[in-house]
Structure 1
């Protein structure tokens, strides 16, 4: 939460006095929370938000944990929250927040308990990270007499573990995704037999009450639970992998076209999950052959899931679910609130815009906004759109009902999120997150809660912060009456600003050196990075270490409807300036994406598979843009116009005009050609301003106005306080301003804004009310202002050449994704176009990003490669842990390892750092500079041939006039 900008501080959507102890009503006063003394054991935006909310509630004695990875490993990465919390006695240092394995996690839990007890804290706040869903940790806190501000250990066990949550959902009539949730039981049966469970318990000295178990499944679960408590393994990852391989073969054979998802039960946020490809994606003479090939990788995928969560230690619960992966799914979730007795919901959120299981853009789903959208669609005659919106409303109502039923069944006594996948008119419960979500503000900006005195309907208080709700429930629990929700705004949207490159791959290690202040209407949660030095008002640098998570900030906006919400978000992204050393973020991606929806249909219903094809389409734009020689193109446009001019004097005059306008016209084009995400956004919102017929580009809107809008789109409006590099140059601004003023006056004279009508009028004789001399001057001015504007056609030409507009929204709000954008090879190729790999010598392999290097799958396992190993293209070489995710890096080509340049696992590496010396099987032949220039000129000539032949002649004729 930024605390520098005055408009932000005064924003009533964020800051308010939350001290209930100051209320007039004794009933309201009784819910005062100032006796709470929380220790905050999370990091990132939620830690800063919790600190702010606690202050506003009058809770002034909180403390925070600070990991050494936040402050020691990386220079300048010191927690920015310390700029606000300056009392060193309230900052407690730990090596890491969670620990690397079961033993270290247990040590960390005890360390946290000791810190809390010895420093007078009586409660724990874990936010949405690390151990917020760790039932063992919550139970440890409860036993120590600490108040956990979040769901209790019973709820954590009943809902937080994915296998138990599915069992509960089935028992309560909640629809679930088809799959298998008892892999550990199946592995136990396979190893010992159903009749051998009692012997297994006896042999391992496990105390199990078999008489209390109603069936074999319960017996297996009881034996497993006893083994976890004893800290021993009666089955291991290999046993579970083998059991799931059997189940996978059955499921692959039943649904050979379906992919399946493997999920470790303790995972979240995409971590600990892997996709099993469909049987029919493999070659084979028979279905059985394909199934066998598809299922071969199941054991290794199980191991990857467990390793990523660091739950592969002795005594860890290693259960992994396998369920049908519905590729066309939309990911929606319901905010659930309960106090252990009552349970209610607060609307939904659509989180379908995600990649690698990481959410990118999240938008509210409310009854109020859907009903208004239905009315708007029906009034516009959009029958298919209205029907889909009506279906969405029905699904929302069903999900909210089931969310409340499930929350009550697991005795939810805090916040939880009921996560579903929506497939057509069906929905399936996926999991419940027993914590506050990263995107919780999307909900709290739409709804607040009002608590009413059961004995006096006029005695109430309202809460607008979900963090505050968590504290209230933790402090007063079942005394809190069931609240009613009230509407704050119809719609809200959140963009997660992450440290990722143009292809949305994690990019650690950059330094933020400057960040513009929030504008009015922007809500920015950035953990205090944007705070300026309170003494000098200078921005303080921040190193994006990447030890934990790629998220830098959460940007939110609200509106009366989804369109206005997205328009406000587009404006926030347009003016945000974020600069630094080796810094890569998804700021431009979000700007392009938001404008894609604004240009196509803001009510579009993307699925979770939308982003990668969209990125591939953007990559194709970049590839085509790279093939264009803008300087050569403008030179040819000018030469064609000059050649078509009449006498020498006219040619000279036109040449001077075109030279003066060169930077005005080409500078924004250079920026768009260099920044494909911005180009995608520009094309999307301008697609109705041009037409391409027979390969020729024509304009439906005045190119001069489009040029002015383009400077605005690029945040290059003229401003005295801006550096010249960030805005239109003053002499270009003078020309453009004069041109816009001219067309404003001409439109007023002719009584029309329609560009086609204006062009037709200028091509003829003077209309009534304008003398011939004045009209001739207007024609000449028009010719001068339009001269060279044909170069703008290079942008729609690129869109046409790449079929960019084939990725579109259908009438029923589904999105048409062209088949080529789903091809794996093209997707990989375009990712490399968006982010070319570091330039390497032919005898080395470089790190694609910063992170932590691992040579093998897990401790104790053999390395992927050693000196002398021959590797094939696509073969795993190493693992890099970056932004909390394990990424297996495959060889880009085949060769032999000559030398390994990283000595130890866990070594921090930088982007572009040499990792291996190699001898490639084939030498790469590089294209010469002359060959590149010739290729680009040939591509540019294709564009020039797409310009209407009459364009140059018309410009020349009007110039002579």
Structure 2
């Protein structure tokens, strides 16, 4: 075994040597890929990963595609990928990866194929972006005589398109979501409602259809229409308008609302992926037991606009594009699970699952390994510890996982899968439904790699084998030696893996493009960081280079992974990674704090919990309520009021001892910054506060409105400094760590209590017993009366003022924070009020206040690409001189591959449109877009009044801790 360095980090991990040509086995050497010549046409972490893996495999002739619209751009610096390229002629530049229109996309496909041919490449790797699952792209590559490192065109056609995949799943007995997969065929039948009319259409348009199909009387009208539509795509013509399609979708949605009361419907463009091309409608019907026809019609009326949105997002709105849209029942209480598949066209193996339920806007945030071995171990542990409800819930998960793995492998064989793909399902308690297949490698593939490796064994000699631990390597092997590769055995590598997607988003998880990364701390031991090399310093100067988060394609900056003996171990390690990660820049916002709070929320509750895809928005809303309440607290004022309280108390008991009064005042003064600095940090960032409250939920109780400590608050204070990464470290800036005199005081106090516990033979966390002993008037055995008085005085001084930490628990109490919880059966209880759309919208603004604006301006809510109308050819949302109402669409902003319709927050009149350049113009967050005259004048807020209200509210909180 050879020791290599894991991608993007300085952490050595043990990997088997990827140079198969060095093996002593002739059979193993025959699978060498050193003669493979791939062109890497993807971007981001997967591009760097592919380059590293190919080099480790001994592949020397490879090139990369570089777009001027990359998600991460490098002003005045060489990208890490360019620094490691031995031959600059193997860097090929294109304007973008996909093209803005269908014509540009086709042009880019031919351009890439020509680049490959002109530069001696024999294969193309598209990673998990670009057109990695585009049947037309893959077909063109194969037609040109090149290899595609990924599933072939046949698989792309039968599995990559959502409608075809669903039909295949039905044929091979895979459980599917209720819905309609042929709305385009139904649209065509609606327009030409007989077999004769459809055949006449073929003749009129000169379509190349199979005569046998046209004459087959047993074929349904919809199946015949499907066949005709395929011929129309080949010819590049439309047989119906988008308006006719939208009307049919609206009718189908109306019928689904009637058949499935209190349910929403999901629209999915068949060419979408990664959250693109999907919308949900019918939210207004969720709480109505028996909706009227009028209410159903109103909900379904949103369908035409959403059809246009999903087709725009996947660029399927041009003439001749396949505009099919899946109409599916939205399973409300659902988890998003996926199975990693690998095949060679003859065999297909499943490599365990991943839980991707923690997502927002269809974008995954935290991805967790789910394996049969891991679940079996968790079941055994829960049983042994008496958690029977948890064990039963996990047994259900294990059975569902086994079914998903069996069905996924069967599906993979049915479509002739000959590379890596992902079988995606939604799970509703003990049932699962097939959702789609991603015919490409996934962003989260490393989660699977951490759990399983692949053992390829010589069929003639069981002792002759080689191990593959990288799916990128496996894909290259399949591209080069597809038919010869024997079916591998999966080998357990690590018991658990977890991945956090570090994205450029604000505290509400809205995209935040345009920021500059100026510093990134080095990876710590055990951290696996896929950041395409951003954190590496310039090898020539030793300086960190600046990188701009452009956001042209998506919001991802890096993937942070950890592994562990079980899920809790992997979560604890990820928590440490997130805690120790420092990322600084200009106008830079990331979801680092969100992930840290979320991971610790689960650690404090139960990491085996079963959150659904509905978890994140209510959770964010809850965090918003924490922030709203935290904004009402003034911790410095609270500390000063607490000093007055102790002063009055000491004055009553020590009126004749001015020295004692002075000493107590000095003691409290020395504790001022020790107590207020971490509290201020937690109040300032509600994501950090959420994680802290969850970790400490069992360390206190509330009795009659008062905080009761179940552990020594000084111990919790020390843990809080560690949690905030503010523990003392030499040569660190004082602003970022505990101050040295505070650190000395805290350590002295902790040594004091440790010595007492040892003296009395008490366990570390037996705070109650120690506190009871310290309250005794008479000295216990081993202490003189004078010594005991000194001990009690020291105890009083060390504990005085610590109550202020209890304010944080009262915030949790006043926001019902702990009502959002994991139950014994691992289900997550989400309080109903957190699902209220109005509250969610308001808390989003609390977490990420809109940019400052003047009364007569409307500014961009975030950076991105501005569009004045819903789709090309449609009228603009607003025009100069036009009056607009609150909630009316004003513009669309495309940021990080998502289209966001921005609606008016108040009513008024558009005086002037300030955007120059029209559609496609790049705007910055806070940039003025319109000059307006509001219908109502906004009242200015008096800052002094706000301060008075904060002090009043803080005084109320102090009653619960003093």
Would you say same fold, with TM above 0.5?
A: yes
State yes or no: 1:563 paired with 2:568. Answer: yes
Number of the residue aligned with 1:133: 133
8 A Cα contact 2:21 2:30, kept in partner: yes
| Alignment of 1:220 onto 2:234 | no
Counterpart position of 2:755: 745
Q: Distance in 2 between matches of 1:173 and 1:73?
A: 47
2:890 corresponds to: 877
Equivalent residue in structure 2 for 1:762, among 756, 770, 774? 774
Q: Deviations over 1:492-521 (max 9, x none)?
A: 000000000000000000011000011111
Q: Which residue of 1 aligns with 2:495?
A: 490
1:97 maps to which residue? 97
Deviation of the 1:4 alpha carbon: 9.7
1:493-512 counterparts in 2 under 5 A? 493-512=498-517
Match of 1:952 in 2: none
Residue 602 of structure 1 aligns with which residue?
A: 607
Q: Is the 8 A contact 1:510 1:544 kept in 2?
A: yes
Q: Kindly tell me: are residues 741 and 7 of structure 1, through their superposed partners in 2, closer, same or farther at Cα, counting changes over 3 Å? A: farther
CA distance in 1, matches of 2:696, 2:880: 55
For 1:606-621, list aligned pairs within 5 A: 606-621=611-626
What do residues 328-374 of structure 1 show as CA deviations (whole Å, max 9, x unaligned)? 10000000110000011000000000000000000000111101110
Q: Does 1:774 align with 2:775?
A: no
Question: Unpaired runs of 5+ in structure 2?
Answer: none
How far did residue 750 of structure 1 move?
1.3
Corresponding residue of 1:846: 859
2:957 equivalent in structure 1: 943
Q: What's the counterpart of residue 12 of structure 2?
A: 11
Go from structure 1 to structure 2 and tell me whether the alpha carbon gap of 1:852 and 1:801 turns closer, same or farther (over 3 Å shift): same
* 1:884 Cα deviation after fit: 1.1
- What CA distance in whole angstroms lies between the structure 2 residues aligned with 1:210 and 1:102? 30
| Structure 1 position 866, deviation (Å) | 0.8
Could you tell me how far 1:21 is from its partner in structure 2? 1.0
| Structure-2 residue corresponding to 1:112 | 112
Query: For 1:703-728, what per-residue CA distance to the aligned partner results, in whole angstroms no more than 9, with x for missing partners?
Result: 11111111111001111121111111
Q: Deviations over 1:887-926 (max 9, x none)?
A: 1111111111111110221111111111111111111112
After superposition, the Cα gap between the structure-2 partners of 1:5 and 1:375, relative to the gap in structure 1 and judged at 3 Å, is closer
Give 1:686-697 correspondences, 5 Å limit.
686-697=696-707
Corresponding residue number in structure 2 for 1:855: 868
Distance, in Å, in 1 between the alignment partners of 2:574 and 2:526 is 9
Match of 1:713 among 716, 723, 730: 723
* 1:590 corresponds to which of 590, 595, 608: 595
1:668-710 CA distance string (max 9 Å, x none):
1110000110000010001111111111111111111111111
Q: Give the superposition deviation at 1:87.
A: 2.9
Kept in 2: contact 1:7–1:520 (CA 8 A): no
Conserved? CA contact 1:453–1:460, under 8 Å: yes
Q: Secondary structure at the match of 1:262?
A: strand
Secondary structure class of the residue paired with 2:266: strand
2:432 to 405, 427, 431: 427
1:813 aligns with 2:839: no
CA RMSD, 1 decimal: 1.7
Distance 1:512 1:279, change over 3 A: closer
Counterpart selection for 2:261 from 235, 256, 265:
256
Instruction: State whether residues 501 and 560 of structure 2, in contact with CA within 8 Å, keep that contact through their aligned partners in structure 1.
Output: yes
CA distance in 1: counterparts of 2:270 and 2:315, whole angstroms: 12
Answer with 81-90 or 748-757: which moved more. Answer: 81-90
Are 1:913 and 2:927 matched, yes or no? Answer: yes
Aligned to 1:700: 710
Matched residue, 2:209: 208
The Cα of 1:6 is off from its aligned counterpart by 11
The equivalences for 1:328-727 within 5 A come to 328-645=333-650, 646-647=654-655, 648-727=658-737
**CA distance in structure 1 between the partners assigned to 2:689 and 2:471 by the alignment:** 38
Q: CA–CA distance in 2 between the matches of 1:855 and 1:448? A: 50
Q: Secondary structure at the match of 1:12?
A: strand
Question: Paired residue for 1:928?
Answer: 942
Query: For 1:316, which of 293, 300, 321 is the aligned residue?
Result: 321
Q: Matches of 2:194 and 2:369 in 1, distance apart?
A: 48
**How far is 1:5 from its partner?**
9.5
Q: Residues 456 and 489 of structure 2 are in contact (CA less than 8 Å); yes or no, is this contact kept in structure 1?
A: yes
> Is 1:890 aligned to 2:903, yes or no?
yes
Distance 2:72 2:758 in 1: 65
Question: Corresponding residue for 1:148?
Answer: 148
2:197 corresponds to 1:187: no
Shift of 1:762: 0.6
Deviation at 1:286, TM superposition (A): 6.0
Bigger mean CA deviation after superposition, 185-194 or 155-164: 185-194
The alignment's TM-score, normalised by the length of structure 1, stands at 0.97
Distance 2:747 2:857 in 1: 53
Q: CA deviation at 1:236?
A: 2.7
1:241 aligns with 2:246: yes
Give the Cα separation in 1 of the matches to 2:100 and 2:86: 30
Which position in structure 1 is the counterpart of 2:845? 832
In structure 2, the residue corresponding to 1:445 is in which secondary structure? helix
Matches within 5 A, 1:68-107: 68-70=68-70, 75=75, 79-85=79-85, 87-107=87-107
Whole-Å Cα distance in 2 between the matches of residues 162 and 293 of structure 1?
A: 28
Q: Whole-Å Cα distance in 2 between the matches of residues 812 and 70 of structure 1? A: 45
Counterpart of 2:198 in structure 1 is 197
Distance 1:806 1:935 in 2: 27
Between stretches 249-258 and 214-223, larger displacement belongs to 214-223
Q: What displacement does 1:209 show?
A: 1.0
Q: For this pair of structures, how many residues does the alignment match?
A: 945
Measured after TM superposition, the shift of residue 285 of structure 1 is 10
Q: Distance in 2 between matches of 1:856 and 1:150?
A: 37
The offset of 1:734, in angstroms, is: 0.9
Taking the aligned partners of 1:137 and 1:279, their CA distance within structure 2 comes to: 40
Q: Is the 8 A contact 2:502 2:592 kept in 1?
A: yes
372-381 or 502-511, which deviates more = 372-381
1:797 counterpart = 2:810: yes
* TM-aligned CA deviation for residue 81 of structure 1: 1.9
Question: Deviation per CA, 1:464-501, whole angstroms, max 9, x where unpaired?
Answer: 00000100001000100001000001110000000000
1:787 aligns with 2:787: no
Shift of residue 427, structure 1, vs aligned partner: 0.4
Residue 951 of structure 1 aligns with which residue?
none
Q: Deviations over 1:754-792 (max 9, x none)?
A: 111111111112222223222222111111111211111
For the 8 Å contact 2:456–2:485, the answer to whether it is kept is yes
Q: Is the 8 A contact 2:675 2:802 kept in 1?
A: yes
CA distance in 1 between partners of 2:949 and 2:684 (Å)? 18
C-alpha distance in 2, partners of 1:899/1:427?
53
Q: Distance in 2 between matches of 1:926 and 1:798?
A: 28
**Deviation per residue, 1:266-309 (Å, 9 max, x gap):** 00011000001156259999611111111111111111000011
For residues 884 and 458 of structure 1, what CA distance do their matches in structure 2 show?
49
TM-score, length basis structure 2:
0.96
Is residue 252–residue 279 contact of structure 1 (8 Å, CA) maintained in 2?
no
Q: Quick check: 1:658–1:787 contact (8 Å CA) kept in 2?
A: yes
